[in-house]
Structure 1
């Protein structure tokens, strides 16, 4: 998603296409869109009657599609989702860093009234709402730049999960037809998510709210609407007011017992297995929880409640939900993880990634003059080449060892 992550989620916003992303990995992307623009236009013409029958006006459909060209890049991007491709310690290093924590605290102060209103209306605390905002779009700095209509039209005419994307394509056209969003502002991720907190079009139609009371549901230009809509989504996804998402725990040595986010048991059952809070205190009751071991029993461990599942419903990846949960804790003033990840080469914060990119450019690597902290194809290629020359495994990771080598050479 390139959001802060890469935007480029009752009613799930991203679950269908996140499952789709895995399936895309087995496809020949060169053949995902069978022919050229002529076939694309024939596909759109075939879709027109059913989309008009759903309530979209002919004028809106024709204006949006008459000169539209397909973008096969979306099929390639579907294979590169960081929630599934990136080691969790790299994924979290860039999402829950000091920069985002400080920005989030400032944004919570700035938008305190909107967050308070959203919490009063939907029961979701402000830190969780702000954490979603921070991960999805870096607090409004990164919405994604791909035209939503083009992306969804291309996916609708591709060779996989057409029904899902045609539903989203139709919903996107309804948004234009209703005048909720200006066509020139309707941009976002490769898969159609848009706005401050990256809603899919069908979810916008089902869930978006007008929190600022101006008569429009505007997730692009209205921060209150985006924050309120996010709270509404999480509440529909099962959020229970007043319940923690979970907390870090300490396992007994050589723990080999049950685990899994969906295997919820009473706290007493986990306590009986020797599990304690990370500070050593006993589990003292609370809601049923599942034991999440995102890197196995030798890494950080968490007991997670149904509110973690509500976050998970926003984007069906445990690493994503954990990023939201941990960031929300930091925004509340709590400390970060106590248990280190099981790696001797941790990932880099965004500030460190920018430094690494600057050092690589000084060595002549072509990164389009950008030290933005985003580890894209060119940066990965440059890192891999530098690693090979520095005697490191050329895996393309932006890691502590690479930054140390770049600083020292």
Structure 2
């Protein structure tokens, strides 16, 4: 029996090794096919060879193509983690620390400092989390496997051109699985088109230069239709019997029309009627918070085409200006956790002996599995592994 198991293991190991070799060969073949395409986009053969030498695929990025948190996470969880008190406090510190740079950026591009800093906060936690994946590895893999290969090939070539021009250095090239990188997580092609030299050193370096990153972010919003001095929108209260079929970010009509329908600010005060196009955003349906959104919300949305993402930046910008939290409760009996609360939950799980790694506030597979076990032990259905207020309070009570 032991001999049979040993032989089976050897066969499986051999099969795995052959599969890996075949994958490596197909990747090298793909890179060879990409070389002339890169040349047609202005990437020299020497540049291509230099940065693809020894490059190996990372197939784990394919699993992330269909699991973006903006589309898979409940809005109350998404906002709780992105717009918590810690991020607000740190953002206000950044506004003070970089006041001169932000004033210059605002004069040049017409975008207010709070919005620029809010993008920075959501995208990289003010420069603390750029992403850990080697950019060329991720983009090279996505250029050869999975869906949207043509799109990722364009980003791969754009990265090589940035290296070729000297704007960025290879050792700095780490970012998200999809290729976004730097302080405000530009995609390489966006970097090529829109990045600007904010510190006057002759380079557009969104990794090492905060002024470059802040100026480039403002330039992006300006080119996306930002209107100086106008709000992105604000929370509102809908009248009883409001026809929700009229809602939607794209379904804009003059603000005076919404006023005529009985829409008021969330505190009950009247909205000044005007011809400004505005839509009603209901991110959690009719029973959740409602927002009037205008052109500047669309400019934020263009940065990453998800309404939850745009709302996170818009709301954080309000908080950085001294605004309040969202007033209307989310339609859930299990609200989301801030990053500090997520760490507290993980510390409780670690104290109970669960092997989940460090308490970093990031809810991964091991943390979710541990939460499921605690939900079962405590009788908290459904046993879904969700990190919410219910499980945290139940564990704290014990």
The TM-score, its normalising length taken from structure 1, stands at 0.90
Q: Secondary structure at the match of 1:289?
A: strand
Q: Max radius of gyration: which structure?
A: 2
- Post-superposition offset of 1:58: 1.8
| Alpha-carbon shift at residue 80 of structure 1 (Å) | 2.2
C-alpha separation in 1, matches of 2:345 and 2:67: 22
Which one of 47, 56, 63 corresponds to residue 76 of structure 1?
63
2:259–2:273 Cα contact (<8 Å) kept? no
Counterpart pick for 1:143 among 130, 137, 154: 130
Q: Could you tell me how far apart the structure 1 residues matched to 2:299 and 2:43 are?
A: 32
**Alignment partner, residue 294 of structure 1:** 283
TM-aligned CA deviation for residue 377 of structure 1: 1.6
Matched, 1:260 2:265: no
Q: How much has 1:35 moved relative to structure 2?
A: 5.4
Shift of 1:78: 1.9
Shift of the 357–259 alpha-carbon distance from structure 1 to 2, 3 Å rule, reads same
What is the RMSD computed on CA atoms of the aligned residues? Answer: 1.3
- Separation in 2, partners of 1:293, 1:55: 45
For residues 180 and 308 of structure 1, what CA distance do their matches in structure 2 show? Answer: 30
Match of 2:333 in 1: 344
Q: 1:324 and 2:313 equivalent?
A: yes
CA distance in 2 between partners of 1:159 and 1:355 (Å)? 38
Return the alpha-carbon distance in structure 2 between the equivalents of residues 96 and 58 of structure 1.
45
| Counterpart Cα distance in 2 of 1:149 and 1:155 | 10
Equivalent in the alignment of 2:183: 196
CA shift, 1:57, in A, is: 2.0
Deviation at 1:228, TM superposition (A): 0.4
**Residue 16 of structure 2 aligns with which residue?**
none
Aligned length: 376
1:248 to 235, 242, 255: 235
Identify the match of residue 177 of structure 1 among 160, 164, 174: 164
Is 1:356 aligned to residue 345 of structure 2?
A: yes
Equivalent residues of 1:34, 1:158 under 8 A apart: no
Q: What is the CA–CA distance in structure 1 between the aligned matches of 2:22 and 2:123, rounded to whole Å?
A: 34
Within 5 Å, give how 1:150-161 maps onto structure 2.
Answer: 150-161=137-148
- For the pair 1:221 / 2:208, whether they are aligned, the reply is yes
Q: Which runs of 5+ in 2 are unaligned?
A: 1-19
Q: Larger relative CO (CA 8 A, sep 6+): 1 or 2?
A: 1
For 1:376 and 1:229, locate their aligned partners in 2 and report how far apart those are by CA, in whole Å. Answer: 32
User: Which residue is 1:58 aligned to?
Assistant: 45
**Cα 1:273–1:139 shift into 2, 3 Å:** same
